[in-house]
Amino acid sequence: MVKKFDIKSLDLSANVFDKPYNEALIHQVVTARLAGLRAGTHAQKTRAEVSGGGAKPWNQKGSGRARAGTTRGPLWRHGGVTFAARPADYSQKINKKMYRGALCSIFSQLIRDERLLAVEEIKLSHPKTKELLAFLIKLKVENSLIIVDEIDEKLALASRNLKYTEVISVNGVDPVFLLRHENIVITKQALVKLNEALQHG
């Protein structure tokens, strides 16, 4: 059975859930988060790193060919790269105040748009996708992010086959996840914990 409750009935901080929508801040934080996910693992080898080329290919004089000291120079096949690419770090610095501000701004707008749905709890009797789907149908939501206090194994297993549904704990709340879904379903306990974390974090 789905038990919804009015978010306004909770004593939530206005500094967390009643902030103006700061699009510039949110864009900066989301861009930084996505940049941090880039692997940056592309790499090439210089002439010092490729194998072989230890012996001088021919005598310095007398062969009629241009002098050469190695077969692994940039002009040779299988040679090293002149300006070799190196693994890059694309992460951008975002301080805690900015990150927390972006989360508060997003949650405040979700409440204003009535896209943040609060429920008493989410308990499944079996780890079945059908059971979770029935729960979401009763809430009349699609493309949803479910935020719980702690991820239950049954809930995690039941959500795996739902393409547009993700389950995260309060500790895993991220601006990228929040903006990726049309609706956010959050349990009462998770909402209280989130309010505490953003208020004093």
- Residue-wise DSSP of the chain: ---B--GGGS---HHHHS----HHHHHHHHHHHHHHT---------TTTSS---S-SS-SSSSSSPP-S-S-STTSTTPPPTT------------HHHHHHHHHHHHHHHHHTT-EEEES----SS--HHHHHHHHHHHT--SEEEEESS--HHHHHHHTT-TTEEEEEGGG--HHHHHH-SEEEEEHHHHHHHHHHHHH-
pLDDT in tens, 140-166: 998 999 999 998 899 999 999 998 999
pLDDT at 153: 92
What are the boundaries of each domain within the chain? 7-22+94-200
Backbone angles phi and psi of 29, in degrees to 5? -70, -45
pLDDT at 4: 73
pLDDT at 2: 65
CATH architecture assigned to 7-22+94-200:
3-Layer(aba) Sandwich (3.40)
pLDDT at 7: 81
Mean pLDDT of 185-197: 93
Mean pLDDT of 58-83: 94
pLDDT at 96: 93
pLDDT in tens, 87-140: 999 999 999 999 999 999 999 999 999 999 999 989 899 999 999 999 999 999
pLDDT at 12: 87
Query: CA–CA separation, 162 vs 144, rounded Å?
Result: 10
- Confidence check: pLDDT of 85 > 90: yes
pLDDT in tens, 3-23: 676 787 788 889 999 999 999
